[in-house]
Amino acid sequence: MRDGRLCLMFRVGDLRNSHIVEASIRAKLIKSKQTKEGEFIPLNQTDINVGYNTGDDRLFLVSPLIICHEINQNSPFWEISQAHLAKEELEIVVILEGMVEATGMTCQARSSYVGSEIKWGYRFTPVLTLEDGFYEVDYNSFHDIYETNTPACSAKELADMANRARLPLTWSLASKLSQQGLPESEQEGQETKTSLDNQEKSQQSERNGDIANIESESKV
């Protein structure tokens, strides 16, 4: 995970003596699919967003880089969980293209990963270290990974759980506000009722006083 979201990550690096300039990277998911109409499409190719809408697919390969694909609603891995991934028959093809700085010739490097080679819940071990004011790259640790605490559910299920976790807070606030509002309304009703009772009592006492005066006048 990265920033609380499930991501698919892979690392690329330039091991040549001459650097690759104007490098770009793209990835594709190769997986057979069946349409809603029942049509079977073998080896269907789907683009994996590795930053072409933000420019992150343009690389400056002075050191190894970790390419990150965020698994969101537009990702082909949106509904794939750890258990589901182990049963999937798929292949991810990564294509790195660039131009050799010394000769100006274009070059292309490709690599692919099947479902069993994708490690769920792991991160790459850092390869950059700062020594005497300079960064050093340890290419011996280029493929090293370590395990992290990662949910085994799919990104869709993780988003649904996060949405449900926010609902009780909304309900509790609303219920608390309604509970706070009820005593005030009841108190206002009681005050109104008390004032009405006092008015009725004063009017009744006035009537009783008038009747007593009338009786005393009649006796005289």
- Contact by Cβ (8 Å): 98, 23: yes
- The pLDDT of residue 19 is 85
Which one has a higher pLDDT value, 68 or 180? 68
Read off the pLDDT band of 4 (50, 70, 90): confident
Q: Is residue 1 part of a domain?
A: no
Q: Are residues 118 and 203 in the same domain?
A: no
Q: Are residues 27 and 130 in the same domain?
A: yes
Closest to 13 in 3D by CA, of 67, 61, 58:
61
Q: Are residues 141 and 169 in the same domain?
A: no
Q: Are residues 30 and 16 in the same domain?
A: yes
- Mean pLDDT (the chain, rounded): 82
User: Considering 151, 180, 207, which residue would you say is the last residue of a domain?
Assistant: 151
Q: What is the CATH number of the domain that holds 64?
A: 2.60.40.1400
**Number of domains, the chain:** 2
Q: Are residues 197 and 117 in the same domain?
A: no
The answer to whether residue 107 scores a pLDDT higher than 60 is: yes
The answer to whether residue 173 scores a pLDDT higher than 60 is: no
Strand (E) or helix (H) holding 22 = strand 20-34
The answer to whether residue 217 scores a pLDDT higher than 50 is: no
Share of the chain above pLDDT 70, in %: 75
Q: Are residues 12 and 64 in the same domain?
A: yes
The answer to whether residue 177 scores a pLDDT higher than 70 is: no
Q: Return the number of other C-beta atoms located less than 10 Å from residue 64's C-beta.
A: 19
Q: Is residue 2 part of a domain?
A: no
Average pLDDT for residues 111-116, to the nearest whole number?
93
24-60 residue pLDDT tens = 999 999 999 999 999 999 999 999 999 988 999 999 9
Q: Which residues contact 120 (CB under 8 A, 6 or more apart)?
A: 82, 85, 150, 152
- Look up the domain containing 100 and give its range: 7-151
Q: Is residue 191 part of a domain?
A: yes
Amino acid at 83: A
Q: Is residue 172 part of a domain?
A: yes
pTM higher than 0.75: no
Closest to 124 in 3D by CA, of 139, 103, 109, 112:
139
Q: Are residues 131 and 46 in the same domain?
A: yes
